[in-house]
Amino acid sequence: MRHILRRRELVTDDWRYAGEDGADEAANAALVVPFADFRTHIAKWRAYPGRLGVRLSPADAVEDLAEDIQRLSLVAAEFPTPGEGRGYSQGRLLRSRLQFKGELRAVGAAVKQDLLFILSRCGFDSFELAPGQKVEAALAALERYSVAYQPAEPVPSIRQQRYRAAG
Amino acid sequence: MYQYDQLDQAFVDQRVSEFRDQTRRFLAGELSEDEFKGLRLRNGLYIQRHAPMLRIAIPYGLLASRQLRKLAEITRRYDRSFGHFTTRQNLQLNWPKLEEVPDILEHLASVQMHAIQTSGNCIRNVTADHLAGIAEDEIDDPRPYCEIIRQWANLHPEFTYLPRKFKIAVTGSPADRAASEVHDVGLHLRRDAQGNIGFQVLVGGGLGRAPMIGQVIREFLPLPDLLSYLDAILRVYNRNGRRDNIHKARIKILVKAMGIARFRDQVETEWQAARDAGPVLEAAQVERVRSFFQPPAYETLQNIDTCAGREPEFQAWYRYNTRPHRVPGYRAAFVCLKAHGQNPGDMSSGQMEAVAALADRVSFGLIRVTHNQNLLLGDVRQSDLYAVWKELRGLGLAMPNIGTLTDMIACPGLDFCSLANAGTLNVAKQIQAQFDDLDYLYDLGDIEIKMSGCMNACGHHHVGHIGILGVDKHGEEWYQITLGGSVNGFTALGEVIGPSVPQAEVASTIERIVEVYRAEREDGERFIETFRRVGVKPFKERAYAAHSKAA
């Protein structure tokens, strides 16, 4: 059973990825489908009665989800290696431009404690931790910084804090 | 200069504690080499030929005396009592111990310094003109904008894992003493018709394997839009830059592949879409940062004739190693790190301490690092110059060769760097020995030699009037020579003059090249001007003359 660190709590995943056990379309399972599949069979997925999520590869253009963003409850972005940084832009765009309010999940072998702080600041609120990652360490990493320079959740930017201090 | 408040301090302190934990986990085997690599690089730590190398950020090259004193303490305690200043105004330690690096970073944080993002594929230390705030030709002081960019770039959540490194330089003068046109982004301060501050923005410059000159992406970017526009450039780059080939991953390759017009359109589209949500630089924020860069308490003085009745050695130093200042009665004085027999850019701990003390006495406690690998005391009373010269001479820091052929740029090369193909320090010593006659150097005038030990071009060889590139030929160190490169407001890339030469022949080849200049020059013409007039041909023909005779 897959566990997810979602909004700072370890939960059993209530989603199924396309192709895995329990990913049962007929039973209207909560299903995460690859972006390409979603785009190719858009009519089918628009009519899908169950909860629906999309999994992005790093090269996928999130703008193409704009029309359907209200329909999606989850978007997952891939971080296969530490150097693959396109998912950070996908996260920022989903939250700021597409106004995506659902679960934004980071998946892949690089989802480890040292990246969680910047991931969370790009809008990711859910992490499928790489194998061997300790939850306590991951939670601590999310709290590593009390300050940050750029305006992004969840830490208010230093600039905002300065203004607040100045009244 | 900028002073951290408790928020800035908390950020660097938390960064140190994070890296201490990461280092501990690496040493305990909990992090693999590869995992640790991305983390240590973003804290300035390379693994080099002999030992780790730590690159300390000196944002826009500005140091307070207490910071330079701290660097002296660190180099003495954790290294071999010297450091190496780089073309990006940073300081490199060549012999730190990995397990002591967190302690070094803690020392740095105690004087409001860090090594954040001095390596790795992220936004690097932002650099500026070393005459910022004092140059007569300045439109505005670039340092407040550099500081704003420094803060914006530090642990930027979206742009910490870019396709490749990303360097920004800001210049406040048309003369461009920051080599901004060979940076990923170059910002040139401008004023519009109403006197509002903004920037001409260049993108896609860079040296390395495929050298390119930056192209104008925007003629005038109003100051409030600075960060949102940089965000837009970085986002287009982060999403579209190549990640499949490290040699094709810089933004210059993307700009070239798309063409500047298409790249500009994409950035514009991204910027317009993000502008409302993006960071606007409020006037109050700018004013806050600007307030840290107010001119020091200058006295009301007259310009004086400093040289009258002084010995010729002082007069030579005054002519070559000092620069005009916008305030009457003051001048800027170089602390020369190019003494013959020395590695260019190297400085001992003792010299650092002495210069820190000198800066306290004569230059408001501030020291600047230049991209040519020297230091500069920016605000010296003209009446103090003679005493400053005597003191610098006693420290071995008054070689009167700034702007001459031996004021050369050199990376550390094969002696230290694991990327290098060839040594640079030996070659520098040979050139210093070959051109040890000051009268000859002065006759040759303004010639910039820039030398790199490999294609990565840390020594900026492409933009040297004379560029020297170390290459590996079947295990031997050879050197390719280029001519005609330049920065400083007229950026050009050098042309290769012919086959590379062995190490022992570099200095003599350069002598033949400058002899061509001496034969061809017209009245008052500098080397680069003669080169531009006569072209590469006479140099090509005569640089190898000795060979053809021998053959």
A contacts of B226 (beta carbons < 8 Å): none
Search chain B and give the residue with CA nearest A99. Answer: B277
Please judge whether B159 and A88 are an interchain contact, meaning their C-beta atoms are less than 8 angstroms apart: yes
Residues B326 and B453 in one domain: no
A68 pLDDT more than 90: yes
Is residue B304 a part of any domain in this protein? no
Cβ–Cβ gap A147/B14 under 8 Å: yes
3-state secondary structure of B530: helix
Between A82, A84, A114, which is nearest B22 by CB? Answer: A114
**pLDDT at site A154:** 61
A164 near B CB under 8 A: no
CA proximity to B418, closest of B466, B384, B449, B458: B458
**pLDDT tens-digit series, residues B319-355:** 999 999 999 999 999 999 999 999 999 999 999 999 9
Cα–Cα dist B517/B506, whole Å? 17
Q: Is B1 contained in some domain?
A: no
Please report residues of A whose CB lies closer than 8 A to that of B273.
Answer: 97
Residues of B with Cβ-Cβ distance to A89 under 8 angstroms: 158, 235, 238-239
Subunit contact A83:B7, Cβ cutoff 8 A: no
Give CA–CA dist B34/A80, Å, rounded.
14
Q: Do B279 and A151 touch (CB under 8 A)?
A: yes
Q: Count of residues for chain B?
A: 551
Contacts of B274 in chain A (CB under 8 A): 96-97
Residues B448 and B532 reside in one and the same domain:
yes
Residues sharing a CB contact under 8 Å with residue B206, sequence separation 6 or more, in sequence order: B167, B182, B183, B184, B212, B214, B250, B251, B252
Compute the distance between CA of residue B280 and CA of residue B275 in angstroms, rounded to an integer: 8
Same domain, B142 and B199: yes
pLDDT band of B548, cuts 50, 70, 90: very low
Report chain A residues whose CB lies below 8 A from the CB of B163.
85
Q: Please indicate whether, in this complex, the C-beta atoms of B154 and A149 are within 8 angstroms of each other.
A: yes
Q: How confident is the model at residue B437 (pLDDT cuts 50, 70, 90)?
A: very high
Q: How far apart are CA B219 and CA B205, in angstroms?
A: 16
Nearest to B239 among A86, A117, A145 (CB): A86
Burial class of residue A9, CB neighbours in 10 A (0-12, 13-18, 19+): exposed
Say which residue the tokens 């920016």 belong to.
B378
Q: Which residues from B are below 8 Å from A151, CB to CB?
A: 279
Same domain, B317 and B205: no
Domain of residue B350 covers: 312-394
Nearest to residue B479, comparing CAs of B501, B512, B508? B501
Which residues in chain A have Cβ-Cβ distances shorter than 8 Å to B15? 145
Q: Does A97 touch chain B (CB under 8 A)?
A: yes
The answer to whether residues B202 and B168 touch, using CB atoms and an 8 Å cutoff, is no
A86 has a chain B CB within 8 A of its CB: yes
Give the residue from B14, B35, B159, B161 with the most A CB atoms within 10 Å of its CB, the best one to mutate.
B161
Q: Are residues B427 and B525 in the same domain?
A: yes
pLDDT in tens, B269-326: 999 998 776 667 889 999 999 999 999 999 999 999 999 999 999 999 999 999 999 9
| Interface confidence: ipTM more than 0.85 | yes
Overall average pLDDT of the B373-379 stretch? 98
Architecture of domain A3-166: Alpha-Beta Barrel (3.20)
* Sequence letter at residue B290: R
The amino acid at B428:
A
- For residues B49 and B78, membership in a common domain is answered with yes
Q: What percent of chain A shows pLDDT beyond 90? A: 87
In this predicted model, what pLDDT tens digit does every residue of B105-139 receive, in sequence order? 999 999 999 999 999 999 999 999 999 999 999 99
Q: What is the mean pLDDT of chain B?
A: 95
Specify the CATH number for the domain of residue B542: 3.30.413.10
Q: Is the pLDDT of residue B490 over 90?
A: no
Helical residues (DSSP H) of A22-156, grouped into ranges: 35-40, 42-46, 86-96, 113-121, 135-142
CB-CB: which of B8, B10, B157 is closest to A118? B157
B153 located within any domain: yes
B36: domain CATH number? 3.90.480.20
Give yes or no for residue B49 having a pLDDT over 90. Answer: no
Tokens 């330049």 belong to which residue? B486
pLDDT band, very low/low/confident/very high, at B416 (cuts 50, 70, 90): confident
Tell me the residue type at B492: A
Q: Using CB atoms, which residue from A82, A97, A158 is nearest to B35?
A: A82
Q: Is residue B384 located within the same domain as residue B419?
A: no
Q: Would the CB atoms of A82 and B161 count as touching at under 8 Å?
A: yes
Residues of A in contact with B269 (CB under 8 A): none
Whether the per-residue pLDDT at B551 is higher than 70: the answer is no
pLDDT at B549: 42
Residues of A in contact with B245 (CB under 8 A): none
Q: Which of B212-216, B367-371, B547-551 is predicted least confidently?
A: B547-551
Contact list in A for residue B151 (CB cut-off 8 A) is: 149, 158
Contact flag B14-A150 (C-beta cutoff 8 Å): no
Residues with Cβ < 8 Å from B433, sequence gap 6 or more?
B340, B507
Which site among A78, A88, A93, A164 would you substitute to test the B interface, given the most B Cβ atoms closer than 10 Å to its Cβ? A88
Claim to verify: residue B346 and residue B414 sit in the same structural domain = no
Q: Report the distance separating Cα B510 and Cα B404, nearest Å.
A: 14
Give yes or no: residues B372 and B414 share one domain: no
> Mean per-residue pLDDT for B225-242?
97
Touching check for A66 and chain B: CB below 8 Å? no
The whole-angstrom distance between residue B246's C-alpha and the CA centroid of its chain comes to 23
Q: What is the pTM of this model?
A: 0.96
In chain B, the number of structural domains is 4
Q: Smallest Cβ distance to B10: which of A146, A152, A163? A: A146
A146 touches chain B (CB under 8 A): yes
Q: Where are the domains of chain A?
A: 3-166
Distance of residue A44 Cα from the nearest chain B Cα, in angstroms: 29
Q: What's residue B282's pLDDT?
A: 87
Mean pLDDT of B391-401: 98
Report percent pLDDT > 90 for chain B. 92
CA distance B289 to chain A (A): 11
What pLDDT does residue B275 have? 78
The verdict on residue B259 lying in a domain is yes
Boundary residue ending a domain (B290, B322, B357): B290
Q: Give the pLDDT band (50/70/90) at residue B63.
A: very high
- Out of B11, B14, B162, the one facing A85 most closely (by C-beta) is B162
Q: What is the CATH number of the domain that holds B341?
A: 3.30.70.3340
Share of chain A above pLDDT 70, in %: 95
A15 pLDDT more than 80 = yes
- Specify whether B421 is located in the same domain as B545: yes
Residues B425 and B489 in one domain: yes
pLDDT of B286 = 94
Q: Which residues of B touch A161 (CB under 8 A)?
A: 7
Mean pLDDT for A121-135 is 96
Cβ contact (<8 Å) for B239 and A159? no
For chain B, the C-alpha Rg in angstroms (whole number) is 23
Using one digit for the tens of pLDDT, what is the confidence trace for B499-520? 999 999 999 999 999 999 999 9
Q: Which of B238-247, B265-274, B325-334, B412-421 has the lowest mean pLDDT?
A: B412-421
Angle CA B490–B495–B501, to nearest 5 = 135
- Record: contact B35-A145, CB cut-off 8 A: no
For residues B232 and B333, membership in a common domain is answered with: no
Q: Which residues of B touch A118 (CB under 8 A)?
A: 155, 157-158, 160
Calculate mean pLDDT across residues A85-105: 96
Q: A92 CB near a chain B CB, below 8 Å?
A: yes
For B243, which of A84, A91, A159 is closest by C-beta distance? A84
